[in-house]
Amino acid sequence: MQSAVDTDVLIVGAGPVGLMLANLLGLYGRRVTVIEARAELIDYPRGVGMDDESFRTIQTAQLVEQVAQHTVPHHIVRLVNGKGQVLMVNDPATDEFGWPRKHGFVQPLVDRELLAGLRRYPSADVRFSHELVGLHEEPDHVRADVSLGGPEGSVSQIRARYLVGCEGGRSFTRRWMDVGFEGVSPSTRWLVIDVDNDPLGTPNVYLGADPRRPYVSIGLPHGIRRWEFMLFDDEPAELAEDRTFLAKLLTGHVPDPHALEVIGQRVFSHHGRIATRFRKNRVLLAGDAAHLMPVWLGQGWNSGIRDATNLAWKLASVLRGLCDDALLDTYDLERREHAKAMIDLNMTAGSIMKADRRLATVRDTVAGALSLVPAMKSYLTDMRFKPMPRYRRGVVVDPSRQTAGSAADTIRPRLVPVVDAPDRTSPVGLQFIQPRVRTAAAGDALFDDVIGNWWAIVAWGNDPSRLLTPDDLDRVRDLGIGLVCVVPEQQRQWAERAYGGAAVPVTVVGDLQGRIKRWFDERPLGVVFLRPDRFVAAACLAQQTSATLRAVLQAMSYVKREPKG
Which DSSP string corresponds to 387-408?
A: PPP--SEEEEE-TTT--EEE--
**CATH 3.30.9.10 residue window(s) in the chain:** 71-104+187-269+355-386
Q: Which residues lie closer than 8 Å to 280 by C-beta, 6 or more apart?
A: 177, 179
The beta strands (E) that lie in 59-212 are given as 71-73, 77-81, 86-90, 102-105, 124-128, 130-137, 142-148, 155-165, 181-184, 189-196, 205-209
Measure the CA–CA gap between 322 and 283, rounded to whole angstroms.
20
Per-residue pLDDT, 373: 43
Instruction: Determine the residue type at 245.
Output: F
What integer pLDDT is reported at residue 495 of this predicted model? 94
| pLDDT value, residue 381 | 42
Which part of the chain is CATH 3.40.30.10? 393-555
Which sign does the torsion angle of CA 438, 443, 444, 445 carry? negative
- What is the distance between the alpha carbons of residues 132 and 157, in angstroms, rounded to a whole number? 10
What does the alpha-carbon distance between residue 458 and residue 225 come to, in Å, rounded to a whole number?
44
* Distance (Å, whole) CA 151 – CA 147: 6
Phi first, then psi: what are they for 551, rounded to 5°? -70, -40
Residue 386: predicted pLDDT: 52
φ, ψ at 236 (rounded to 5°):
-70, 155
φ and ψ at 94, to 5 degrees?
-75, 155
Q: Which segments of the chain belong to CATH 3.50.50.60?
A: 7-70+106-179+274-349
- Distance between CA 407 and CA 404 in Å, rounded? 8
Distance CA 559, CA 475 (A): 10
CATH code: domain 7-70+106-179+274-349 is 3.50.50.60
Exposed / middle / buried, residue 556 (Cβ in 10 Å: 0-12, 13-18, 19+): buried
* CATH number, span 71-104+187-269+355-386: 3.30.9.10
What string of pLDDT tens digits covers the 565 residues of the chain? 567 899 999 999 999 999 999 999 999 999 999 999 999 998 876 788 899 999 999 999 999 999 999 999 988 888 888 788 888 888 888 889 999 988 999 999 999 999 999 999 999 999 999 999 999 999 999 999 999 976 677 999 999 999 999 999 899 999 999 999 988 766 678 899 999 999 999 988 888 888 888 888 999 999 999 999 989 888 998 988 999 999 999 998 999 999 999 998 888 877 788 999 999 999 999 999 999 876 655 577 899 999 999 999 999 999 999 999 999 999 999 998 888 887 776 656 555 555 455 554 544 554 454 454 454 444 344 445 455 789 999 999 999 888 999 999 988 865 555 556 677 889 999 999 999 999 999 889 999 999 999 999 999 999 999 999 999 999 999 999 999 999 999 999 999 999 987 778 999 999 999 999 999 999 989 999 999 999 999 999 999 999 999 999 999 999 976 555 4
Look at residue 276 in the predicted model and tell me its pLDDT.
Answer: 95
pTM: 0.90
Between CA 528 and CA 539 the distance in angstroms is 4
Quote the pLDDT of residue 380.
Answer: 43
Residue 558 CA to residue 564 CA, distance in Å, equals: 17
Residue 404: predicted pLDDT? 96
CATH fold for the domain made of 393-555: Glutaredoxin (3.40.30)
Of residues 505, 480, 493, 481, the one with CA closest to residue 438: 493
Beta carbons within 8 Å of 251's beta carbon, 6+ residues apart: 257
51 residue type, one letter: D
CA triplet 157, 160, 163: central angle to 5 degrees? 100
Separation of alpha carbons 490 and 510, rounded Å: 8
